[in-house]
A and B are shown apart, each in its own frame.
Chain A
Amino acid sequence: IAGITQAPTSQILAAGRRMTLRCTQDMRHNAMYWYRQDLGLGLRLIHYSNTAGTTGKGEVPDGYSVSRANTDDFPLTLASAVPSQTSVYFCASSGTYTGELFFGEGSRLTVL
């Protein structure tokens, strides 16, 4: 089934550890995004990429980094995790100028 694949589904992590959340899409969309979802705060954009080789900062980029080496993959890295990064992380993609985002099923991250 075409779409967004995220891994891991869930993870418990000690504070200070490095963590990479993986995201792969098979729709050949140019744009990809990372959001975090927290109760009462909705979905907040962390980073985005308009096309392979380019990335940009969203609403809450601090503590996170991304790369876009190719069209399909858009990993999100927490260099040194902190408890406030406990959240559900969603990767999404969209075609150029379509306005519709396709989301993965999320990665639940707990930082202790």
Chain B
Amino acid sequence: QQQVKQSPQSLIVQKGGISIINCAYENTAFDYFPWYQQFPGKGPALLIAIRPDVSEKKEGRFTISFNKSAKQFSLHIMDSQPGDSATYFCAAFGDGGYNKLIFGAGTRLAVHP
């Protein structure tokens, strides 16, 4: 069974600090690694994604770092804000193909003022 291991389970950061969430995956059939953000009572929504032809992708305060040899990727949130408080999920496509996006267990981020 394809697995995506995500850590930490929860994270508390002060406003202005850096939030770092890590993921490790097993074999994947489709080189595309997204991060989803979920606010309470809402469905997850795509935050940022990377294709491993690059080792890093940055969008505003959000950066994905990718290490293909280690099968790991991480999300960095710079200058974290209270509005970033949410649950974050990493994901990878299982060896069954592009129609089986497997999610990590999620990280609940709380950014304190």
| Interface, chain A (partner B; CB < 8 A) | 4, 31, 33, 35, 40-45, 48, 50, 56, 58-59, 90, 92, 97, 99-106
A106 to B103, CA, bound (A): 16
24 residue pairs A–B, Cβ–Cβ below 8 Å: A4-B43, A33-B101, A40-B105, A42-B6, A42-B89, A42-B103, A42-B106, A43-B89, A45-B101, A50-B99, A56-B99, A58-B100, A90-B43, A97-B98, A99-B32, A99-B34, A99-B49, A100-B46, A100-B49, A101-B46, A103-B44, A105-B42, A106-B42, A106-B43
Interface size class of B (residues with CB under 8 A): 20 to 34
User: Which residues from 46 to 71 on chain B have a C-beta closer than 8 Å to any C-beta of chain A?
Assistant: 46, 49
Q: Does B12 contact A (CB under 8 A)?
A: no
A24 to B24, CA, bound (A): 33
Residues of A within 8 A of B89 (CB): 42-43
Asked, given contacts A99-B34, A105-B41, whether A40 binds B101 with beta carbons under 8 Å apart, the answer is no
Instruction: Say yes or no: A104 contacts B6, CB within 8 Å.
Output: no
Residues of B within 8 A of A103 (CB): 43-45
Instruction: Say yes or no: A42 contacts B49, CB within 8 Å.
Output: no
- Pick from A33, A56, A59, A105 the residue with the most CB of B within 10 Å: A59
Asked, given contacts A48-B100, A56-B99, A99-B34, whether A42 binds B105 with beta carbons under 8 Å apart, the answer is yes
